[in-house]
Structure 1
C-alpha cells in the first residue's frame, strides 16, 4: 500500500483512492461538473414562477400552460437518449461543454420569444441540454470519485439540482413585482457560460474514457495528479484488465458488453424502474406547479412564489442531509424511508384538498413530501444509476435510465393539470401515494446496497435478487 492511500474494496472508476490534496481537487472538479445539475434544476424550476406571467402575456389556456412546462421534457428525452453514445464517442468533458453551449442558445431564444411557438422552441432546445447534462453528470462523477466518498460526490449532482431550483425560485421572487419573466429566464445564461468555460479549460477528461480509448498516458497523468505515479500505474493496469474482461463477455460480433446482455439486464430493470418511480411518485408536479398549487389554497400569486422559495429551501436542506448520510447509512435504507414518508405525506396532501384543509396544513404536507423526496429517493437515484451498471455500459445505462426518467416526467407533467381537472387535485395526489407504496415493495425486493461495493459485488447481488444464476467468472477484485 502506498503511504497516504487506502486499499478499498471494489472500484467504479479509475480514481479509487486519493491523497487529502487530491480529494480536495476531485471535490472541486465534482462541484464544477455539477453545474450541469444546477442548470437542470434552474431550467426546470424557473418556469414555475414565469408561467404565472407568461400565461397572461401570451393568453395561454391550461393545455398551453402545461405544454410550456412539459415540452422541455421532450428535448430532455432526446438529449438523454443520445448522451450515452456521444459521451462514449466524444468524451465526457467535450459533451458537457456542448451541453453548456446549447443551454446558452436556448436561453437566448427564450428571452427573445415573441409568442407561444417561439417559447416552445426555446424550451425544447433547453431540454436537449438538460437531458444531456442529467445523463452525463452522474457518469462523470462516478468515474472520478474515490470509493469512500463516491456516494457523497454522486449526490452532489442532486444538491446542485436543488440549488438550481432554489435559485430559480429566488429569481422568480426578485422579478415577481414587475412580472418580468424574460429576466427570469435570462439569469440562466451565467451558469451556462460557467459550464462552457470549465469544460474548455479546467476540467480533466474521465480517466476511464481515456483508458478505453487507448489514451493511457493522459489517464495516468490525471490519476497521478490526485495520487502519485505508483498508484496511477497500478490503477491503470487494473482498469485495463477489467476492460479486457468486459470485452471477453461480449460475443465476437460486438465491440463491448451490450446494455441488453443477460448479465446486465437486472441492473437495467432496476435503473429503468427507479427512473420511472422517481417521477410517477409526483415530485415534479409540485416543483413545476408549486406556485399554482399554493395559489389554489387562497394565496395571491406573489405570496405563492414566496412560499415556493420556502419549499426550495427545505429541498436544499434535506439534500444536504442526504449527502451527509449516503456514505454512512447506505443507499437502500434511505430510499425505503423516503418512499414510505412520501406515500403518507402525499396521501395527506390529497386529503387536504378533498377535505378543504387550511392553507397552513396543505403547505405542511407539501413540505413533508418534498423533504422526504430530497432526503432519499431524489439524490440517491442519481447515485445509484452511477453505481449499478458495469463500467463498460455505465454511460449507456445512465443515458437510458435518464431518458426513461424524462419520459416519465413528461407524462406526469403534461397530464397533471388535465387529470386534476377531471378527477380532482386531491384524488390525483392519491394516485401518487399508491405509486409510492408499490415502489416501496419493489425496492424492498430488488434493490441491493451499493455503499462501499465494487461493480462485481453489486452485479452478484443483483443476480441473486432477480433469481439469476451468477456468472462463475464474476470475482471480486480489489485494487
Structure 2
C-alpha cells in the first residue's frame, strides 16, 4: 500500500495485485489528500486577477503589488520547512487537517483586510498553509500508493494544483464585473473546510508512519482494508525489516541518528538531495509563476482591457489543466525522465519566443500563443513530474524531511522570481527577462540528462541504486565515504 509495500520481499519481486475495490478506495483517499494541492493552486492563482482591483482600492505602487503576491511565498517557505517535522511528530492525517484550518484563518484575514498591512498578514498565513500542503501532499500520496499507479496518484497533486489555478481564474472572471476581490479570496474557504472534514472523517493514517512509530496493528488494518490479511502481513513484515535496516545504516553513518536533517546530507542520501533541490529551483527559475501570477498583467500590456486580460488568462488555466491530465496518462507509461526532458526543451523554445514577441512588438495573438505553448510544455512535464519525483527519490526514512527541504527551496525560488520579475523587467525589458528564463531551461535540460534517473516501476531500493550510479558512486565508494564521516 505504501511505496515499497506493493512488491513482494526482494528488490525485484513481483507487483502485488490490489483488487478493484481497494484501488477505488485508494483513489478516493488520494483525491481527498490532493485537496491540499487544490488550495495551493487556488491561493497562488486567485491573486493574479484580484491584484488588478486591489491596487486601485489600496493605491499600491509596483513594489507593493509585487509584495502582495510574493509575501505568500515567505509563509510558504516557513510552512514547507516545518511541515516535515510536524508530519513526523503527529502524523500525516492530523497535519493535513491542521493545514486546512490554517487556510481558513488566512482566508478570513485577507477578506476582512482594511489596508495593505492586514492584507500582507493574511497572505503570510495563507502562505504557511500553502507551503505545508505542497510539502506534505506528495509524501502522503506516495505512502498510500501502490507502485503500479504511484506516478498517476502523485501527479494527481499537480492536477489539483492546476485545477485550483483554473478555478481561481474562473472565480476572478465571475467577480471581474463587480471588482469584488474580497469575494475572489473568500471562495477559498469552501475547499479548505472540505479538507478539514476529510482529514477528520475520511482519510486513514499513512501505514509507513504507523509502522515507523510502532503501531503496526493499525497499519495492518489499513493495508488489509484494500488488499487482504495475508498480503498485509507480508507487507508490514517487509516494512519493519526495511525500517530496521535504515536505522542500522543511520547508526553507521552518524552518531546523531535521530537528526533527519543531518541524515539528508549523508553520502548515500546526498544524490537524492541534489536532484530534489535542483529540480525545485529549476521549476521556478524556468519562469512558470511569472505567467501564473502575472498573466492578466502581462496580457494587459499587449493592449487588452483588464476584464479581457482575465478572460484570456482563463484560456491559459484551461491549457494548464488539460496538459496536466495528459501528463497523468503518460507518467506511468512513458516515464518521468523523458517527460521532463521534452518539457524543458519546449519551455526553452517557447519562452524565448515569448521574449522575442515583446522585443519586436508582435501582436497580442502571437504573445498569447507563445504563453499557451509554454504553459502546455510545463504542465505536460516538469510541473507534475517534479512533485512525483520528490515523492520517490528520497529513502523512506527521510522522505518527509527530503520533500520538506525540496519544497522549501521551491518556495524560496518562487519568492525570488515573483518579487524580482516586475523590477527586472523594468530594468532589462520584459522580453529580455524571458530570455533569462530560456537560458535556465537549457541548463536544466543538461542537468536532467546527466543526473536524474528513471523512477517509473522501481521501488525505493532500485531508485537509490540508480541515483548512486548517475552520480558515479558505487556501494564501495559510498561505504568509504561513510567511514570518513564517522
Q: Does 1:290 align with 2:295?
A: yes
Tell me which residue corresponds to 1:238: 238
Q: How does 1:2-401 map to 2 (within 5 A)?
A: 17-251=17-251, 252-255=255-258, 258-401=263-406
Deviates more, 1:250-259 or 1:235-244: 250-259
Tell me which residue corresponds to 2:484: none
C-alpha distance in 1, partners of 2:321/2:150? 20
Aligned-pair CA distance for 1:92: 0.4
Describe the SS at the equivalent of 1:250: helix
Aligned-pair CA distance for 1:467: 1.4
Aligned-pair CA distance for 1:244: 0.3
Aligned-pair CA distance for 1:291: 0.2
Tell me which residue corresponds to 1:459: 464
Aligned-pair CA distance for 1:148: 0.5
C-alpha distance in 1, partners of 2:477/2:309? 58
Q: How does 1:379-458 map to 2 (within 5 A)?
A: 379-458=384-463
- Aligned residue pairs total 468
Tell me which residue corresponds to 1:477: none
In the superposition, relative to structure 1, how do residues 464 and 11 fare at CA in structure 2: closer, same or farther (>3 Å)? closer
Aligned-pair CA distance for 1:31: 0.4
The answer on whether the counterparts of 1:173 and 1:302 sit within 8 Å (CA) in structure 2 is yes
The answer on whether the counterparts of 1:16 and 1:145 sit within 8 Å (CA) in structure 2 is no
Cα deviation code 1:223-275 (max 9, x no counterpart): 00000000000000000000000001112541376111110000000000000
The answer on whether the counterparts of 2:11 and 2:462 sit within 8 Å (CA) in structure 1 is no
**Which runs of 5 or more residues in structure 2 are unaligned?**
480-486
Aligned-pair CA distance for 1:455: 1.1
Aligned-pair CA distance for 1:11: 8.4
C-alpha distance in 2, partners of 1:134/1:235? 28
- State the TM-score, normalized to the length of structure 1: 0.96
Cα deviation code 1:329-364 (max 9, x no counterpart): 000000000000000000000000000001000000
Aligned-pair CA distance for 1:68: 0.1
The answer on whether the counterparts of 1:220 and 1:233 sit within 8 Å (CA) in structure 2 is yes
The answer on whether the counterparts of 2:327 and 2:380 sit within 8 Å (CA) in structure 1 is yes
Describe the SS at the equivalent of 2:267: coil
The answer on whether the counterparts of 1:464 and 1:470 sit within 8 Å (CA) in structure 2 is no
The answer on whether the counterparts of 1:284 and 1:413 sit within 8 Å (CA) in structure 2 is yes
C-alpha distance in 2, partners of 1:40/1:402? 12
Cα deviation code 1:81-107 (max 9, x no counterpart): 001111001100000000000000000
C-alpha distance in 2, partners of 1:69/1:317? 25
- State the TM-score, normalized to the length of structure 2: 0.94
The answer on whether the counterparts of 1:246 and 1:256 sit within 8 Å (CA) in structure 2 is no
C-alpha distance in 1, partners of 2:121/2:185? 14
Describe the SS at the equivalent of 1:249: helix
C-alpha distance in 2, partners of 1:390/1:110? 39
In the superposition, relative to structure 1, how do residues 321 and 388 fare at CA in structure 2: closer, same or farther (>3 Å)? same
Runs of 4+ aligned structure 1 residues displaced above 2 Å come to 5-12, 469-474
C-alpha distance in 2, partners of 1:100/1:10? 39
The answer on whether the counterparts of 1:256 and 1:392 sit within 8 Å (CA) in structure 2 is no
